[in-house]
Amino acid sequence: MNEPEKNRRFFDLRNNTKGIRTVVLFLTGALSFLALIYPFVIRPYSYPLQIGDVAPQDILASKNLSFQSEILTKEAQSIAEKGISPVYLPTDTTIARNQIEKLNNTLDYIDIVRMDSFGTDVQKIADVQAVETLQLDSEVIQNILKTDDASWALIRADALQVLEQVMRNTIRDDRLRDAQRNVPAYVSFSLSENETDIVIDLVTPFIVPNSLYSEELTNEAILQAVQAVNPVISTYLEGEKIVERGQIISPIVYETLQAFELVQPNSSPRIIISASILVLLAAAYLILYFKYRQIAELQQLSCLLMICILFILFLTGVRLFDPADEFVLYLFPLSAFSLSIAFLYKRDISFGIIPVISIFAAYGMTNSLSLTIYYMLTSLIGVLVLGNGRRIASFFWAGLAVGISGIAVIVSFQLLNSGFDWVEIAPLLGAAFMSGLASAGFTLLFQFLFAQLLGLTTPLRLIDLSRPDHPLLQYLLREIPGTYQHSLQVANLAEQAADVIGADSLLVRVGALYHDAGKAINPTYFIENQMPGMTNPHDNLDPQVSSQIITKHIRDGIYLAKKYRLPVRIQDFIQEHHGTMLTNYQYSIAVQQAGNDPQKVDSDKYRYPGPSPLSKETALLMLADNVEARARAILPKNEEELRELIKKTIDYMNSQGQLSLTDLTLHDLYLIQESFVKTLRNTHHLRLQYPELVNSQATGESNGGTLDSERTVS
């Protein structure tokens, strides 16, 4: 197996960590599950009490707390309801008229019975008793029948008058007995005692309520009274006794213990099932999201492991706090997690995880809905405002956006409460603002620590690496000034093209600045660093030895990169910017020395170790490096020649398979070509003219091979 194949095999195997990734994800899910159930299963200072139990000891308030007591509020509402009297309709005169008419008809009937000359006394008594309204006993009926006509006329007239006077008053069902007992007061004093009794017996059955009860109006009055009751607020000071030892746990005491989170839950199976369902749903969502997004960074074990560690740390951190302490929950800088992931890796990863960690963090809290929205919106807005984070000010603005959006969420939910009070929510607003600033601060700290420990290429670190006063750049400027200038030209060329195709232009620029760093080990073996008139040290070397010296600058570059702690991503530019191409000049000399017979020369001994570019960015560097070299060597006379030169160079690299491991499209290559033309227009650099290869078809190499600053003949 040759060297290029070995390198390709290595780069295929280094991501073969599917089993490890599965274990990491499983552990993350398990730890997330434990974090969700922790506040419910483990409650410090909680008691296994129920209503009706006896308090095992004095239980004191653990903090100052005011809460709305549902029990006391319901008691106050019940008292208000009982205080409402039944509501009656106004007196209905129609009822009085109907009753007087009924009495008059009854008296007419008695008149008929009295005048019946054929009926016996027994029959007449029976006829009067048949009147259901009267319900008179036999003795009273006999008195009525024996009364002479004059007396009966007085009794009849007085009965109608008494009923009319009684019914003029307001009579309700609860006062009916009183109205009936007051009938004697209305009977004429001119009647005898026996006649008075007859009037009372005749009138009393016809007295009925004339002011009826209204259930609708009564219920309306009760509802208004209940709604007018203000919620009862129970207030406890820290250290105040909630219940004494030996006291029965009443519903009010139990409610207070619940408010202080001092009652141990007895529904652990339901909590476990609930948390399990939530974790499984979140896992399904993440699998579908990242399957759709296809984010390459997640294939790296270090990236996946770091995301999972940060996820567990932040989730556990917020779940450790008291669920009833709103101030701390709003103060916790959960947005620092999403900001860190977006800055260290990719925003799409952060967008996918934000809903999950927001829901998990607020799960089971008293105000879980508002907390979920608070965590989610502040994180999303913070990530969007942070952008690429190339300036320290970007972190400040992101933190400010997190704080302001958090304040807006709190105000939005608090406005729904009838007891909205700016003074009461002021601490929460302050906590939200401080959370935003803390999130920005933690993100800055994390990016510095993790970028150094893991070798990540964050924008801020790339900017630091691009500074001319970086120790390695200063070393290159002193040792290989020609190569340094070449690297600057290549960096400008590649950076412009990266912007056009949507690649990471800052990464490309920094990678271009360091791609030839290895030449500083043997600077005089590279023509751009040789002084005029200086003898070329390659003139007396065997072509294979000369090629080995040239290709060695890749390994030397990796050595310097590790020495100066350059990120692994920058080392990729050093390794991949020549791919597995031939050192064409040395190979051409070797073919000439072999009698122009390529079959006698082992081309693998003249190849760069590779691998071929594995990303758009390193491929851009390879193209820019070769195009800049050929442009300075050939010195095209006009734009048409320049365009043709660039096109041939790109086509040659593509035909040699050097771009096959990248996701560059034909459209990308066209845009790169146009960007190179625009940047190099009217710019020419004197470079070495390369001899054409003889019998190029036999070797599979064209005379359009790589031309760059490594060529060593004068």
The domain ranges of the chain are 93-206, 266-456, 462-699
Residues 6+ apart with CB under 8 A from 13: none
> Can you tell me whether residue 358 is helix, strand or coil?
helix
Can you tell me the distance from the alpha carbon of 648 to that of 585, in angstroms, rounded to the nearest whole number?
Answer: 18
CATH code: domain 462-699 is 1.10.3210
> Can you tell me whether residue 607 is helix, strand or coil?
strand
- Considering the entire predicted model, what is its pTM? 0.55
Residue 572: CB atoms within 10 Å: 23
Can you tell me the distance from the alpha carbon of 584 to that of 705, in angstroms, rounded to the nearest whole number?
Answer: 6
Contact between 188 and 158 under an 8 Å Cβ cutoff? The reply is: yes
- Written as six digits, the tokens of 52 are 């009706």
H helix runs in 467-542, sequence order: 471-479, 481-501, 505-514
Q: What percent of the chain has pLDDT over 70?
A: 89
Q: Which residue has the tokens 């309204």?
A: 133
Q: Give per-residue pLDDT as tens, 275-317.
A: 889 999 999 998 888 888 777 777 777 788 888 888 999 998 8
Can you tell me the distance from the alpha carbon of 414 to that of 419, in angstroms, rounded to the nearest whole number?
Answer: 9
CATH code matching the domain that covers 266-456, chosen among 1.10.1760, 3.40.630, 1.10.10, 3.30.450: 1.10.1760
Number of alpha helices (DSSP H) and beta strands (DSSP E) in the chain: 30, 4
Can you tell me the distance from the alpha carbon of 188 to that of 143, in angstroms, rounded to the nearest whole number?
Answer: 18
Model pLDDT, residue 711: 42
Model pLDDT, residue 698: 36
> Can you tell me whether residue 43 is helix, strand or coil?
coil
Question: Is the bond preceding residue 611 a cis peptide, omega within 30 degrees?
Answer: yes
H helix runs in 169-234, sequence order: 176-181, 193-203, 215-227
Residues 6+ apart with CB under 8 A from 42: none
Model pLDDT, residue 714: 25
Q: Tell me, what amino acid is at 116? A: D
Residues 6+ apart with CB under 8 A from 428: 326, 327, 330, 410, 414
> Can you tell me whether residue 161 is helix, strand or coil?
helix
For the chain (714 residues), the mean pLDDT of every run of 10, in chain order, is 41 54 80 75 58 81 83 88 84 87 87 83 82 80 84 88 88 86 88 87 88 84 86 85 86 85 66 87 89 77 84 88 79 91 84 92 82 93 85 86 92 78 84 91 83 73 85 88 88 90 89 89 78 70 82 90 87 90 83 81 84 91 89 81 89 90 89 90 52 43 38 34
**Plot region of 275 (φ>0 → left; ψ -120 to 50 → alpha; else → beta):** alpha
Can you tell me the distance from the alpha carbon of 364 to that of 359, in angstroms, rounded to the nearest whole number?
Answer: 10
- In this structure, is the dihedral angle defined by the CA atoms of residues 334, 337, 343 and 346, taken in order, positive or negative? negative
Contact between 392 and 444 under an 8 Å Cβ cutoff? The reply is: yes
Burial of 12: CB neighbours in 10 Å, binned 0-12, 13-18, 19+: exposed
Burial of 165: CB neighbours in 10 Å, binned 0-12, 13-18, 19+: middle
Model pLDDT, residue 682: 57
Helix (H) or strand (E) holding 643: helix 639-655
The dihedrals phi and psi of 47, each to the nearest 5 degrees, come to -130, 140
Burial code (b: 16+ CB inside 10 Å, e: under 16) for 31-59 equals bbbbbbbebbeeeeeebebeeeeebeeeb
Can you tell me the distance from the alpha carbon of 487 to that of 476, in angstroms, rounded to the nearest whole number?
Answer: 10
Q: Strand 241-243 relative to strand 59-60: parallel, antiparallel, unpaired?
A: antiparallel
Give how far Cα 114 sits from Cα of 144, 151, 153, Å: 8, 13, 12
The dihedrals phi and psi of 501, each to the nearest 5 degrees, come to -95, 5
Model pLDDT, residue 619: 92
Give how far Cα 629 sits from Cα of 556, 575, 688, Å: 21, 18, 9
